[in-house]
Chains A and B, each alone.
Chain A
Amino acid sequence: MNGRIVIAIALLALAAALVFAARPHEVTADERIDQITTELRCPVCQGLSVKDSTSETARQMRDLVTQRVREGKSNAEIQAEFRAAYGDWIFLSPPVASWSGLVWLVPIAALGAGLVLVTGRLRGADAPPPAEPSATQVAALRERVAREEAAEG
C-alpha cells in the first residue's frame, strides 16, 4: 500500500479517537464533587487537595460539598461558601480574572517569546540544506571522536 495512504488512514483514526475522547458529555454529580474537591486546598495538609487528603478536616469538607451538590447548589455557589470562610487561599489554582491571572499569563507569554526567538534563528524552510559531509570532514570528525574519548578517560 502507498505510504501516504497509510499515514492518512492512521491520522484519521487518531483524530477520531481524540474527538471521541473529547466529546462533550453530561457531568454527573460524582464528577462535580471530584471537580470541586480537587480545586479545594485541605487546610491542615501540605498543599494537598480536599479530594486527596485523608485528614478528618478534608473528610468533613468532602461531606459538605457532597451535601451541597445534592441540594442542587451550583459550583460557583459552593465555591463562594468556602471563599467566604477561608478566602482565595482555599483554592489551589488562583482565579484567572484578578491580577493573579498573571501567574497564568507569564508561562504562556514566555513560551510564545521563546518560540519567536527560536524561529528567528532558524534558516528559511526553502533554503537548501548544506551538502553531505566531504571525506575530509568525516576524517576530521573521526579524529575528534577519538580525541574526545581520550580526553574523557
Chain B
Amino acid sequence: MLARVVRIAVVVAMLGLVVTLALAFRRDPHDIRTGTIGKPAPVFTLERLDGSGKVALADLSGKVVVVNFFASWCLPCTEENPALVRVYERYRASDVVMLGVNYQESRDNGLAYVQRMGMGWTTVADDDGRVALSYGVFGPPETFFIGPDGVIAGRHIGPIDEATLVNAIETLRARAAR
C-alpha cells in the first residue's frame, strides 16, 4: 500500500516537473506586470532638465500623457528615439503630452543628449530616482501611457516603435472622447 503511494507520488512529481519545464518555454521575459497598471499614476513634480522651472503631473490632468524614461547611456533609448520624435511631431498640436524623464545620470549629460537627439518635448530630471521607483521602472527605456483620468493605462518595457506608440495613444484618446 505504502509502496504504491510512493510510486504514484514519484510518477506524479516527475510529470509535474516536466510539464512545468515545458510550460516555461511559453513565458515571455518581456512581459513583466507591475503593480501600477490600472491605478492612478503616482504624482510628481520635477525640475526641467534645461533649468526652466518645474513640471507637475497634476497640472496635466485631462490630457493623454506619455511618460518615457530615458538615459544617454542606454543604447536601446537611442534606438527608439526616432520613433518618439516622429510621434511627438504628429501630436504636438493636440492634447497629447510627451514627458521624458531622465534616468540615473547627471543633468548635464541628460541635457546634452536631449539636444543632440532633437528631443523637442519636455524633459525632466529625476535626480534621486524616486519617480522611477514609484512607477516600478526596471531600467530605461520604459514608456507609460496615462489617460486623461490620470490612470496608468499601459506600459512598454524596452525600445518602443511608432506603431505601438500611436496605437496606445489613439486608444486613450478614443476612450476620452466617449
Contacts and interface: CB of A to CB of B under 8 A. Distances in A.
A and B directly contacting (CB within 8 A): yes
Interface of A: 43-44, 56-57, 60-61, 63-64, 81-87, 89, 117
B33 A87 contact: yes
B78 interface: no
Interface in B28-48: 32-36, 39, 42
Nearest to B129: A60
Interface of B is mostly: loop
A56 B136 contact: no
Given A56-B104, A56-B129, A57-B129, A85 B139 contact: no
A126 B72 CA distance: 76
Contact of B36 (A44, A60, A64, A84): A84
A85 B133 contact: yes
Interface residues of B, number: 20
- For the complex of A and B, 10 pairs with smallest distance between CB atoms: A60-B129, A85-B136, A87-B35, A86-B136, A43-B138, A84-B35, A56-B104, A86-B34, A87-B34, A44-B139
A113 to B, nearest CB: 9
B128 interface: yes
A43 B139 contact: yes
Contacts of B135: 85
Interface string B91-132: 000000000000010000000000000000000000011101
Contacts, number: 48
Nearest to A85: B136
B134 interface: yes
Contact of A63 (B33, B128, B134): B128
Given A83-B35, A84-B36, A89-B32, A60 B139 contact: no
Interface of B: 2, 32-36, 39, 42, 104, 128-130, 132-139
Nearest to A59: B129
Nearest to B130: A64
Given A84-B36, A85-B135, A89-B34, 18 more contacts: A43-B137, A43-B138, A44-B138, A44-B139, A57-B132, A57-B133, A60-B128, A61-B133, A64-B133, A82-B133, A84-B39, A85-B36, A85-B42, A85-B133, A87-B33, A87-B34, A87-B136, A89-B32
